[in-house]
Structure formats: structure tokens, C-alpha cells
Chain A
Amino acid sequence: MKLSAPLARVTGTLLLTAFLLVALAVAVQGAFQTRASIADTFARQASIEQAQIALEELLRLQIYEESLLRGYSLTHDTFYVDQYQEAVADFDAKVAAIRTTLAAQRLDSVRLMLEQYVGLQARWRSTIAAPMLSHPDRQLLEMDKRNKFLSDYETKIVEAIRNALANTNAELARTTQTELDRSSYARTFWLLVFGLLAILFNGFRSRLYQELEEEKNTTEILQRAFRSESVPLPNCRIGSAYLSAGSHLAVGGDVFDVYRLSNSLALLLIADVSGKGVDAAVLTAFIKFTIRGIALRRRDPGAILGEFNTAFAQTVENPYLFVSMFVGVLDTDSLLLTYASAGHDSAFMRRSSGVQQLAVTGPVLGVMEEPFGTKSVIMEDGDILVLATDGLTEARKRTGEQLRETGAIDLIAAASDDPQLLADELVAQVRALGGNHPRDDLAILAIRADPPKAAPHA
């Protein structure tokens, strides 16, 4: 099914809004992801810095062990042995802590170097420290070269571990910087996307409103062109009024017509087309002139509606369009009104005894092939036939409640005797109810039976 232009415009707006929302969601998700990633990198950096500190402490303990051993060798004081044992325990504890960190950070190559270092220190303890502790009188010089060799080698490995940890930390810092850069670029990108989408959105919305405004103007011009002017009828006075819906809505398809079929017969028409816009406005023209054409041949309102219903079904292919319509034929001599109503319940007769709602005689047009009944009523002097579109009965009060038929009847009963004043007053009431922003168009046609008064006898 081909999309109509307004539908396409709405779809475009929805798509643009969806793009905006997706862009926003991606930007927010990206920001959170970047934050989590940077937090993880910072945690790793902190952990590695702890390992670096522990490594320096390890080296200090290694040198401390050697110094204590030398102290013991020179003095034979067991104080140095106790201190040495404590240093060994501290060294092993530090190694365990570094092992845990390296395993957590998955620095396997550094772990291997650490194990090599620990192995060397164990070898130093067994080949240098243990013999010295067992035989303090032994000359340390005998083992000096071996001690130097192991010590140097340990120093080299520690330096390698130090370099590896520093490199890892530098790499993490670079990763953080890259992440921050990437995040900045991504934010800039999404900012640009947001900006462009916002500009597009704004432009699209402006164009949409402009088009809607133009369409509304066109529709109003069409409606004014198709709407009947008041045609004088014998023995009657006519009033009419039209209230257009708020500017943010497209104009609806309300139409009324008063057309003289002959010297003594007049066609009275009011209809409300479902839908709004140019399509509905053009349809009002179709209704008005088709009904006139049929009424020139047929005088029975029910038959007029039946024939129009057939023409409507054959002409209008849009299944979503239907029409409620009231057609009356008024004999201006006898003031006999015959009428038929296709689902149009806003037809009232105001008499001195009160306001009566005229019956609906068939379904709305464009829905099904059904016969339409015809009813008649004699209008007495002063009776006013009030025909309205659903903008009257469906007008909402400030509470949100609809006026309905009973509310309309109350308004009509309270309105002026003059048909034009009555129509104007009804429009004013509806406008007041809607806070000057009525939700729907409203057409009022009022015909007052006003036969000439016989001159009083002297």
C-alpha cells in the first residue's frame, strides 16, 4: 500500500527521532564503556605499581640478607642471625605478594623472571649463607666470587623485572591515553551526529509545519469556496456559522448547503466527512454538488442518500473515508420538512415546547448498502431547525467530558430566537468550552420557519 504524503512525513519524523534516540543510546553506552575500561586500566596500573614497590623492597631485603651475613661473619654475634632469619621470612612474604599480583595481571614472562630470581636467592642461601651460618669461622673470602656472581645475576634479573613492569605500566598508560583519545573522538563524532540530526530534525519539523499550514490554508480556501452562502428562502430565515479547528490541526471536512430546488422546495444539507485535510475538503465539494444533482431528480431524501451512497462507494476508493449526512427537503409553502439522516445525529428541531433531536434513518455513508428511511415534520411558526456537525456534540468541557446531545440541546434551548444569532452563539459556546482551541471543526446551519404574519383585523 502506497503511503500517503502526510503518513510519509510522520514516518520520516519517527525515523529521525529513532535515529536521535539510537545515537543518544550509543553515546551514553560508549561513555559508560570507556569509563569502565579506563577504571580497569587504572586498577591494573595501581596493581603493577604495588608490584614495583614490592620488588624494590625485595631487592632491599636481598641486600639486607647479605649485609647481615657479613655482619655475622665479622662479629659472630647471633643478633645478626636472628635478623637474617627475619629478613628471609620478609623476603619470602614479599615474593608471595608479587607472585599473586603478577598472576592476577597475567604477566607470565615477568613471573618466570621472578621465579628465576627466587631460585637464585635460594641457591645463594644454600651455597653461601647456610655454610657461613654453620661455620662462622670460615673465611667469607673463599666464597666471595661466588657471592658476587650470584648477587650480580640477581641484580640483573631484578633490573629486567623492573624494566618489564615499567614497560607494562607505560603500555597501560598508553592504552588509557588511547582510550581517552578514542573516547574524545567518539564523543566529538556523536556530538556532530547529534547536531546534524537536531538540525535535520528541526528543518524537517519546520518544513512539516509549513506544509501542514499551507495545506490547512488550501483546505480552508477550498472549504470557503465550496460552502454555500445563505440563500434566501421564502417563509424562512437562515443563519449559519463555521468554526475551524485550532491551527495545529488540519482542517476537517464539514459541509452544509442550502439550495433551492424550485420555487417552493429547498434542499438542506449538512455532512461531516471523516478525516481531515485537502482530501476531505475536496470530498465536501463532491458531496455538495452530487447531492444537488441527485436532489434535482429525486425529492425523497432517503432516496437521495441511497443514490449518493452508491455513487460514493463507486467513486471514493479510500475505505477509511465515510460520511455522516443529513438531507432535508423543505417545502417553503407548507413548511413540511422531509428528511433523512445517514448516521448524522446532530439535527435538532427547536419548538416552543422544547428541543427535539431528529431521528437517524440509516447508517453513515460509505460503509454498507442500506436503504435510508425518510421522515417528515411540519415546522410551525417560530420553529428552528438546527443542523450541526459533530463538533457540537463532541465538544469537550474543561473537565474533558463531552457535551453530547443533551448538552447540545441545552445550548440550543438557551440560544437566541434569531437563527443567525443562534448559530453564532453556539459557535461561541463551543469556542469557550474548548478554551479557544476546539478539537474539531464545527458547522451550524439554522433555519427558522418565519411565515408572514396575517394583518390583524381591525
Chain B
Amino acid sequence: MRSASLLLCAAMLAFGACARANAATPAADAAATPAACRLHAGEKVVLFSAGGDPAVFVWDSPVRLRDYNAASYDEAQAMAVRATLVAPGTRALVASCRHNYVQSPYSEQPDDAVGITIITGPQRGHDYWVLGSDVRRVSHVAVPAP
């Protein structure tokens, strides 16, 4: 079922429709941030992956983030091209959060999808979605002047 959805999505990608359909800006989603989320809108964070590679994949929609993490190896490999890789240590502001939105078949616990606005690095000023486990809360992150 999920494969069919992804295939359909891949076909729609050719027309740029899928991206629009899945598009949900973190800012627009801010009002929906549930209290159960570990992070809250406005918090300063640093991106850092606890896996083998500390760089972080960020996504332009929460649905794509969820589908990538739920996909099989081949599906995920195909979808990875749509992700943006940001360097570890990139700073961001939390815009919104979806509690337990991402469920990986390899993990027993679901993860949050966190909407962020990147404030450092080449992707500065862009909105993305990232896994909750790839986000570190820091209080001393200074927001650079625009």
C-alpha cells in the first residue's frame, strides 16, 4: 500500500504536484504543535545525527520525512535524492512539531517530526522538516542577525 502511494507520489513528482500536495510549511503548522512534543516553537536547536554519519537529512515536507523513514531499502534509496543534507552543527529555530509522527519499521518507538527554520549555513532561511532525534536543544545558540 505504501509502495503504491510512493509510486503515485513519484509519478506526481514529475509534474511537481506531489511536492505541492505534501507541502506544509513549519510556520503554518506552528499552531498545531501538540504539548506532548519534546520541542516547542521558538526553541533554538542544533542539528546533529546520532547515527554513523552526524550530517542530517532534512525534508521539505513532513509526509516525505515520514515516508522515507517508513520505506524499504530500495524505496528509501530512491527517495533519498529528494532530501537535503545539512552539515552537523547547523543551527535552527523550531517552528512546529508533530508528536510521534514518524514510525520506522526498524525502531520500536515512534519519533517526532520537527519543523525548523535553518538559521546558519548554506540553507539559512529555509524551512524544513527533520527527525526529532536529529535535533539537539541548546540554550546558547545565538541567532545571527539577518
Contacts and interface: CB of A to CB of B under 8 A. Distances in A.
Interface of A: 59, 62-63, 66, 116, 120, 144-149, 151-157, 159-160, 163
Given A66-B53, A154-B52, A149 B80 contact: yes
A153 B52 CA distance: 9
B41 interface: no
Contact of B107 (A146, A148, A156): A156
B85 A144 contact: yes
B15 interface: no
7 contacts: A62-B52, A63-B52, A66-B53, A144-B85, A153-B73, A155-B50, A159-B107
Q: Is the interface of A mostly helix, strand, loop or mixed?
A: helix
Interface of B: 49-53, 55, 57, 73, 76-77, 80-81, 83, 85, 104-108
Given A66-B53, A152-B51, A152-B57, A145 B106 contact: no
B78 to A, nearest CB: 10
Contacts of B77: 149
A66 to B, nearest CB: 6
Contact of B108 (A147, A148, A163): A163
Contacts of A62: 52
Given A157-B106, A159-B107, A160-B107, A145 B52 contact: no
Contacts, number: 52
B55 A159 contact: no
Contacts of A147: 53
B51 A155 contact: yes
Given A145-B83, A159-B107, A163-B108, A153 B55 contact: no
A71 B87 CA distance: 17
Contacts of B85: 144-145, 148
B87 to A, nearest CB: 9
A151 B51 contact: yes
Contact of A151 (B53, B76, B104): B53
A148 B106 contact: no
Contacts of A120: 73
B76 A148 contact: no
Nearest to B55: A148
> Which 3 pairs between the two chains have the least Cβ-Cβ distance?
A151-B52, A155-B51, A156-B106
Contacts of B80: 145-146, 148-149
Contacts of A163: 107-108
A62 B80 CA distance: 21
Contacts of B49: 148, 152
Nearest to B84: A145
Given A152-B57, A155-B50, 12 more contacts: A63-B52, A66-B53, A146-B80, A147-B53, A152-B51, A152-B52, A152-B53, A155-B52, A156-B106, A160-B105, A160-B106, A163-B107
B106 A144 contact: no
B54 to A, nearest CB: 9
